[in-house]
Amino acid sequence: MSLPKVLIINQPFNKNTGGGVTLSNLFCNWERKKLAVACLGYLLTQKMDPTPCNNYYQLGSKERKWIFPLNLFGRKYYSGPINIGDRSNNKQKVVGKRSKFRVKLILDFIVPLFNYIGISHFQAKTSLSPGFCKWLDDLDPDVYYIQAETRESVLFCTEIIKYKKRPVIFHMMDDWPSLIGVKGPLKKYWEQKIDKEFRHLLNKADLLMGISDYMCEEYKNRYGRNFVTFHNPINLNFWKKAQRNNYHLAKNPTVLYAGRIGLGIDDSLRNIAEAIKMINKELNADIKFKIQTNKVPNWISNYKNVKHQEFVAYEELPNVFAQADILILPYDFSSESRSYIKYSMPTKAPEYMASGTPIIIYAPQDTALVKYAEEYNWAEVVTESNTTVLMEKLKNLILDMPLRKEIATTAKNVAETRHDSDLVAQEFQQMILKTAEKTIIYK
């Protein structure tokens, strides 16, 4: 049976975000000509990888309208089809380098303010334009694969489904609904309204997916629908080309964190730095803590053994991970962050497993990540926001070579049996094929 034509909504293919990497790996066996993506302009860059898909529709100023007076300051994005492989022609269509000051101002001040007073839930609306409808009609997809993490994206997806009915697959990445109504005078109003709108979208879906087993269990209880777990699979051959197999420590051992500094992660990274400082003092050692993040923590100069390094190309990650002596995967311990991350599973988790480097997790107990690690024993785990406890666990791992080897070997086995893209992508493909069989009903 030939593969169905899939329209992916709200998530582009890329190698620098968790969602983009996961999407690329799940659809790795798909025919390029059978994939298309529709997403907002701020998600697209000139460095997009056209390999898995090059048929995009950028939802720009003709589809997305801002309320007054925000419409006076919002960036104007091109609306229309984009061939990702045609880089020269895309320079006028895709926004290139973005102002760091503008991004910081929006993320650090405007977004929190709008979230508190409730404006963020209606500050902009994405609607079907005549141009998008024509593109959608010409594409004539067999099935929709949807991700949504805001009220705006939920309503837009619902509008697409109403305009052209097709089988719907909805994939949940994070428990963003739990953060709605956390703060602000209108929290109860928005919590109830968005919950109703979100449930309406879920009820339109023919297949529901979650990012972790824990999420799927919770959502079964919360929404009364079955969810199937699909997390980021990995290309084992890609990771085996530099896989670590030697567990003797380097002369100056390194603990590595590679990722983004998100909600509250900065505090956990500082705790790790403090724990390593304590170990160095006690053991008279010179252990380095390397932080490979999108920005430099403002406290880093206070620790002589903490080094920041820029992101590297995805193709270089196997070497970077294998060269570290320990990989650390931290979460935030704040109550607000716990609600968001509780059911999530980091994209880098199976990548860490496949690297062959021993892993330590620093995260709250009641999270999908900790539950998964403890069930399959692929990492050492610290569940208290306590620097002394973290220091002791790290020190034990540094001093115990058989333990490092045992953890790393187990992690590699889990990666091979549960995250092999050849197996997971095939199962994912079969799920979509089965769902797409309903297309004939709509056409």
What mean pLDDT do residues 138-159 have?
Answer: 97
Q: What angle do CA 431, 57, 42 make, to 5 degrees?
A: 100
Segment 8-60, tens digit of pLDDT? 999 999 888 888 999 999 999 999 999 999 999 988 877 777 889 999 999 99
Q: What is the pLDDT of residue 261?
A: 80
Q: What is the pLDDT of residue 327?
A: 99
Q: Per mean pLDDT, which range of 56-70, 181-195, 288-302, 382-396 is the poorest?
A: 181-195
CA distance 204 to 166: 10
Is the pLDDT at 263 greater than 60, yes or no? no
Segment 171-194, tens digit of pLDDT? 999 999 988 755 667 788 888 999
Is the pLDDT at 210 greater than 90, yes or no? yes
pTM: 0.90
Q: What is the pLDDT of residue 182?
A: 56
Between 111 and 303, residue with greater pLDDT: 303
Domains by residue range for the chain, with CATH: 6-95+122-233+421-442 (3.40.50.2000), 236-418 (3.40.50.2000)
Q: What is the pLDDT of residue 104?
A: 60
Segment 415-429, tens digit of pLDDT? 999 999 999 999 999
Residue with tokens 């199962």: 427
Q: What is the pLDDT of residue 423?
A: 95
Which contacts of 82-88 are long-range, i.e. CB under 8 A and separated by 24 or more positions? 82/44, 82/56, 82/57, 82/58, 83/50, 83/54, 83/55, 83/56, 84/48, 84/49, 84/50, 84/53, 84/54, 84/56, 85/50, 85/54, 87/46
Q: What is the pLDDT of residue 379?
A: 99
Q: What is the pLDDT of residue 288?
A: 98
Closest CA to 325 of 257, 272, 241, 232: 257
Q: What is the pLDDT of residue 175?
A: 94
Q: Which residues have CB under 8 Å from 163's CB, separation 6+? A: 128, 133, 136
Q: What is the pLDDT of residue 92?
A: 57
**Which token pair is 357?**
């480097």
Segment 58-110, tens digit of pLDDT? 999 999 998 766 666 667 889 999 988 765 566 556 655 555 555 565 556 56
What mean pLDDT do residues 341-359 have?
Answer: 96
Arithmetic mean of pLDDT over the chain: 90
